[in-house]
């Protein structure tokens, strides 16, 4: 059988969660609601952090960029799924699939690195409070943000360039709501050894190094909090990083769930729910986590909604 990559006419099928026609209106309403909440919630966080002078600090600078990443990540996957449900079609073109995969890898990587940068910010704020404004100066914050973008773009370009080398022949059905890199590699009929090696090394570096950095930062934070004598001081110090720690836990637990379920069951459908968790659900929950558990955000939201300076 000839296995040439007919990229001009090649199409993929996004199978989603269910092929039951009666379930499609429910799925459309559910994901449309989640997407609208994600957009509105994260846009509100961005607008509040920009307009409220009390939030012009490194912590909220990175938070607003995380919200932008969450909007972009959700916009990469959900609109195409909604269009497919509405049009009763599961088709996505070859180049559309590659574009979606590239954007997903880009913004997923950006979120991952920004969470690490935010952990470092909390480490400096709690462990070196007297030097916080000196260390976390505007120049460093911009460099950290640019570095996050650079690494994310490099990661997405590397994976996408390798995907371009793959050849596909038959069985081009992806059991997800979006084009996931791992699923594309599994569908290829050409040799995928290099893709597999690079995928696991890159995922290990992009996931492992930031995770180690977060663990290190929070180990130092916990040690510093334990040295505080008053209970009120301990609560105040912990409250400044509780929201971030919650988001980090959700992000890494769902990310690990994707790979653990894939390895344990060898079933592509098994990782779909966990993939949706960090691609759709977590971007929706982040604004609620930060607004409900953060006193500064709640006060800023009240001032913003009431039109007060």
Q: Where are the domains of the chain?
A: 11-306
96, two tokens: 């559309």
Q: Are 88 and 150 in contact (CB under 8 A)?
A: no
pLDDT of residue 15: 80
For strands 173-174 and 91-93, give the pairing. Answer: unpaired
Euclidean distance between CA atoms 309 and 300, whole angstroms = 9
- Render pLDDT for 231-244 as a digit per residue (tens, 0 to 9): 777 777 777 778 88
CA distances, 268 to each of 69, 153, 170, 255 (Å): 26, 26, 17, 15
pLDDT of residue 101: 93
- Burial of residue 28 (CB within 10 Å: 0-12, 13-18, 19+) is middle
73 closest CA partner among 160, 180, 159? 180
4 closest CA partner among 170, 196, 173? 170
- At the second CATH level, the architecture of 11-306 is Up-down Bundle (1.20)
Which are the contacts of 189, defined by CB distance < 8 A and separation ≥ 6? 3, 167, 168, 169, 170
Euclidean distance between CA atoms 149 and 205, whole angstroms = 16
Q: Residue 173 phi/psi, 5° resolution?
A: -100, 125
pLDDT of residue 7: 46
Low-confidence residues of the chain: pLDDT under 70: 1-9, 18, 171, 256-274, 292-293, 307-309
pLDDT of residue 46: 93
For strands 91-93 and 11-14, give the pairing. Answer: antiparallel
222, two tokens: 């916990």
Q: Is the pTM of this model over 0.75?
A: yes
pLDDT of residue 1: 38
């Amino acid at each position: 059988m000839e296995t040439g990559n007919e990229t001009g006419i090649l199409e993929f099928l996004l199978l989603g969660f269910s092929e039951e026609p009666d379930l499609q209106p429910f799925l459309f309403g559910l994901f449309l609601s989640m997407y609208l909440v994600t957009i509105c919630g994260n846009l509100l966080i961005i607008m509040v952090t920009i307009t409220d002078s009390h939030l012009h600090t490194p912590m909220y600078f990175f938070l607003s960029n995380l919200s932008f990443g969450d909007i972009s990540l959700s916009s990469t996957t959900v609109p195409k799924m909604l269009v497919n449900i509405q049009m009763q079609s599961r088709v996505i073109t070859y180049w559309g699939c590659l574009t979606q995969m590239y954007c997903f890898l880009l913004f997923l990587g950006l979120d991952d690195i920004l969470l690490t940068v935010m952990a470092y910010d909390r480490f400096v704020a709690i462990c070196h409070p007297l030097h916080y404004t000196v260390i976390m100066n505007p120049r460093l914050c911009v460099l950290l943000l640019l570095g996050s973008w650079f690494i994310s773009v490099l990661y997405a370009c590397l994976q996408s360039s390798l995907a371009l080398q793959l050849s596909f022949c038959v069985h081009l059905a992806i059991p997800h709501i979006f084009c996931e890199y791992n699923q594309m590699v599994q569908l290829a009929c050409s040799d995928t050894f290099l893709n597999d090696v690079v995928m696991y090394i890159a995922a290990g570096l992009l996931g492992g190094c930031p995770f180690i950095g977060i663990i290190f930062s929070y180990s130092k934070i916990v040690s510093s909090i334990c040295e505080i004598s008053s209970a009120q001081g301990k609560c105040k110090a912990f409250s400044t990083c509780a929201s971030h720690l919650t988001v980090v836990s959700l992000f890494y637990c769902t990310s690990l769930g994707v790979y653990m379920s894939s390895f344990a069951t060898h079933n592509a459908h098994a990782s779909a729910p966990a993939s949706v968790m960090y691609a759709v659900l977590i971007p929706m929950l982040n604004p609620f986590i930060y607004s409900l558990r953060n006193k500064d955000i709640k006060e800023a939201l009240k001032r913003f909604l009431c039109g007060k300076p």
